[in-house]
Amino acid sequence: MAALVARCRRTACFTRRRLCVPLVIVLAAACRESALTPMGTASLVLSEIRLRGAAPVARRMDTDAKFARSVLDGIATGDSAWIEVAKAIEPGSSAVDASLTIALATALPLAPRAVLPLLGATHAAEEVCGIPFLQPSKDRITRYRDSALAAVLAVDVTTTARAGSAAPFPDTALRRKRGLCAAALRGSAERKLTRIDPAYVVKNKPVVPKKPPPKKRTRKTPRRR
């Protein structure tokens, strides 16, 4: 009887090993780098943030260039899952902060409704919407300003109706962020274009009509009687 029990245990152990080994291989293959997601998907990064915290993930972006590039490229696509990653990450250095700002600015024309709610204390509207690209050309500035401005102004700032009301009501926080972003886009584009080409101000300055000169008053001489 004891021999039979030992034999059953050995068989069960062998069966578990046969099941576990392929499972490990499958998991390893799933985590392996690929051309599309070099360091994993957004869900994996979010899982890492939940397990380790946002600060360690931000530090990893400082030390692991490939990981940082995969995260920033994902955020720049405007995909909703990657925007959640941007929302969760707490920049631990100025380099990560600047890189996140550029990634969110790239995503802005693609997914303005997802990016605008992130604007605030961590990601200032003046920075994300301030065309933060490194040494952009004049053409890129104007193209980006036009596309981003059109996308931002097209965002619907109304929310679902309140309980007991049939009509939707405005989302005042989103409307305010939309206005701040639009103003930053216009102002930053003008400053950058002026810095590149000082004649831009002269060419684009609105023409103010000249006021007619004041009429000279003539003194009437009294008639002699």
Q: What would the pLDDT profile of 44-75 be if each residue is shown by its tens digit?
A: 999 999 999 999 999 999 999 999 999 999 99
pLDDT at 33 over 90: no
Residues 6+ apart with CB under 8 A from 100: 72, 75, 86, 89, 91, 123
Average pLDDT estimate for 18-33: 36
Q: What is the pTM of this model?
A: 0.70
Q: Rounded to an integer, what distance in angstroms lies between the CA atom of residue 191 and that of residue 188? A: 5
**Nearest of 64, 125, 121, 119 to residue 96 by alpha carbon:** 64
The least confident of 91-105, 126-140, 189-203 is 189-203
Q: Find the helix packing angle between 94-107 and 54-63, rounded to 10°.
A: 100
Domain boundaries, the chain: 32-107, 124-157+171-205
Dihedral of CA atoms 45, 49, 50, 54 in degrees, nearest 10, equals -160
Q: Rounded to an integer, what distance in angstroms lies between the CA atom of residue 112 and that of residue 123? A: 14
- Provide the token pair at 28: 């390893």
